[in-house]
Structure 1
């Protein structure tokens, strides 16, 4: 009840933040609230956090203006000083995220994926910390959640309960427990402060982003605030997360049975789960970026990369129901329980999907256009890239930039007919080239992001997460992962066209197109084999 009340009064909180807590209005809002104690806490938090945000933002802006004053553009000295300012500012932003917690941690995680928009110093600082140093609730706070949700303390609800969490994220932490019938489970417990501060955090973040946009028009992150406003209430309801995990596996069984055995999500213990507590089957496995452990399990990292690519390609292009937070901490790998092995005797991997709180549904039209776009990107079809980018909202002026963000390549490389034109090597030159384009086209990128529909923005986030996973597994991207994307997107386009066929002649045309595409994919596969043979001969 308190949470719903907070979300209903979000607009009031934004006004309160803007006014730095106008006394009479705040008192009236508290007095008429469904939960005066919680409302008082929120109205106390808003101005304090807003002040902290403002001080940090002002400090960062001043550092850039003062440190770079008078240094000529393009000079080595300016580049050196700019790198130092980027690093200092990233650490200030990191500290702000940790002090505020909650939504701010999620913002920090998102910044860590924006290679195409923010300097590398920010990306590296956020990636190194936001997944591994999240705040931890005390055991007393955990007990408070249990009493409210299940009416008793964890040691009574479970036969065993480890008070020390094995993991902590922005919204919750996970404890290991054992049920009274002996099953080992993972218990996800929402941080107590999320109920009290979620609306306050959103109000302060919204005010800060709007103010920065007013001061610096090219800085337009209002789309991110709008996305948080829509998605956060769903992420704070763990029963929605549980239902998402069930639907995800059902989709694989019904729509992608050929890989259903290779994808798994922990079973939910419904009687021990509520909107703020989620009890699931405990899963053993290696984190997807832990290459050493994956090899120790007898699994090849390139097999894992292929499975990750295939899994998310099926979700995006065929299911239209997409896990939008596939960072490394949410993906585990274990040997396939059936014990099946490859022709070389290596164990086959099974991908375990965790944290199903953030999903996005793609309607038929969006899914068809997005699949058509990725097929065109893989085959370097400039006209189809433009047509489908425009359909997805990029516009005729920014479609090339949209293609560049998706592939992390400049336009001339996107449309290069070379078979490996999309492959990222993960080298320093690749990274510096990306950063140069990010700096050069920052206003246009911000304009594009504010223009795209939010479901496509989340596809970009998913794409960024998967790129980071592939990079950790393969030290770059792989031609084979792009072939998988090309194949699955082509299959999705073919299936969609077959559903819309209106005549025998149209059916024949579609079949011919499919044969030609299969021939092109086969040619690309043969080119890949030749590249692999050439590389092997070079090593010897």
Structure 2
């Protein structure tokens, strides 16, 4: 395999770059990625799992016209999810598209996921924020161009450590990081990073997933009820936090508008 040979050559030249785990993942997943019939079944599974979202449309698969190398789907009118001009033209709220930190908790859960002493780097990778922003609380530290430059610079500097970190965490975590990066890319294009929409929505998904897992392990009805109440409280807190972010953003906009009007 060409990738395996290249990675071995890079590893021989630069021993700090341990990417053999990437080769193993590629060997396992590449055949599945190239099997379009499998992708079609995945699309139908997604349509079933997310059928309760009225805004989501997964195109129907034409199985009689599909093969392992060709996937034929119904044509659906629409725009790209990161097309801001399309959103404006059709009066779609971009924040709805991309919809507090306990530092000891950051360390504890990062270590449990295998990050070890690299937990600060793991927190930065997960949030795409600098360690200073993470440490002070990403909700209180707005994203700046200087911080983006700092992140890009440090990403190149800490590439061996990033490689080591990705090799440590569970493979399922790589898929979550990939999803996180996709959402962040959409937010950047739509210019909605400041609203924290994707983090709030991901948090809701995590709260529901953890509660569902705990309920499946619970042995008594009272314990399941306790888990459900805790889940509802956590989701309520997220909704309140989202409302506060919206309110703060609205107040800031009015304040800036008043200043500009006064200056003119």
**What TM-score, normalized by structure 2, do the two folds share?**
0.85
The answer as to whether partners of 1:401 and 1:445 remain within 8 angstroms in 2 is: yes
Instruction: Tell me how far apart the structure 1 counterparts of residues 190 and 101 of structure 2 sit (CA, whole Å).
Output: 25
Q: Which has the higher helix share?
A: 2
SS of the equivalent of 1:448 reads: helix
Q: CA deviation at 1:282?
A: 1.4
Does 1 or 2 have the higher relative contact order (CA < 8 Å, sep 6+)?
Answer: 2
Pair 1:284-2:82 in alignment: no
SS of the equivalent of 1:278 reads: coil
Pair 1:402-2:130 in alignment: no
Pair 1:297-2:18 in alignment: no
What pairs up with 1:54-69 in 2 under 5 angstroms? none
Q: 1:293 to 1:280 in 2, by over 3 A?
A: same
Q: Match for residue 384 of structure 1?
A: 105
SS of the equivalent of 1:264 reads: coil
Structure 1: give runs of 5+ residues left out of the alignment. 1-202, 307-378
Q: 1:512 to 1:459 in 2, by over 3 A?
A: closer
What pairs up with 1:281-430 in 2 under 5 angstroms? 281-306=74-99, 379-394=100-115, 396-417=116-137, 420-421=139-140, 425=143, 427-430=144-147
Instruction: Tell me how far apart the structure 2 counterparts of residues 247 and 515 of structure 1 sit (CA, whole Å).
Output: 27
Q: 1:529 to 1:284 in 2, by over 3 A?
A: closer
The answer as to whether partners of 1:219 and 1:443 remain within 8 angstroms in 2 is: yes
Instruction: Tell me how far apart the structure 2 counterparts of residues 271 and 518 of structure 1 sit (CA, whole Å).
Output: 43
Q: 1:439 to 1:239 in 2, by over 3 A?
A: closer
Q: Match for residue 45 of structure 2?
A: 247
- Give the alignment partner of residue 201 of structure 2, picking from 444, 464, 484: 484
Instruction: Tell me how far apart the structure 2 counterparts of residues 465 and 227 of structure 1 sit (CA, whole Å).
Output: 19
SS of the equivalent of 1:492 reads: helix
The answer as to whether partners of 2:129 and 2:147 remain within 8 angstroms in 1 is: no
Instruction: Tell me how far apart the structure 1 counterparts of residues 72 and 228 of structure 2 sit (CA, whole Å).
Output: 48
Instruction: Tell me how far apart the structure 1 counterparts of residues 28 and 223 of structure 2 sit (CA, whole Å).
Output: 41
What pairs up with 1:90-105 in 2 under 5 angstroms? none
Q: Match for residue 191 of structure 2?
A: 474
Q: Match for residue 262 of structure 2?
A: none
Instruction: Tell me how far apart the structure 2 counterparts of residues 208 and 523 of structure 1 sit (CA, whole Å).
Output: 50
Pair 1:525-2:245 in alignment: no
Instruction: Tell me how far apart the structure 2 counterparts of residues 204 and 529 of structure 1 sit (CA, whole Å).
Output: 50
Which structure: larger Rg?
Answer: 1
SS of the equivalent of 1:299 reads: coil
RMSD: 2.5
SS of the equivalent of 2:72 reads: strand
The answer as to whether partners of 2:35 and 2:68 remain within 8 angstroms in 1 is: yes
What pairs up with 1:119-138 in 2 under 5 angstroms? none
SS of the equivalent of 2:71 reads: strand
Q: Match for residue 211 of structure 1?
A: 9
Q: 1:242 to 1:512 in 2, by over 3 A?
A: closer
Q: CA deviation at 1:288?
A: 1.7
Q: 1:424 to 1:223 in 2, by over 3 A?
A: farther
The answer as to whether partners of 1:305 and 1:470 remain within 8 angstroms in 2 is: yes
SS of the equivalent of 2:76 reads: coil
SS of the equivalent of 2:3 reads: helix
Residue deviations 1:329-364, cap 9 Å, x none?
xxxxxxxxxxxxxxxxxxxxxxxxxxxxxxxxxxxx
Q: 1:523 to 1:238 in 2, by over 3 A?
A: closer
Q: 1:515 to 1:249 in 2, by over 3 A?
A: closer
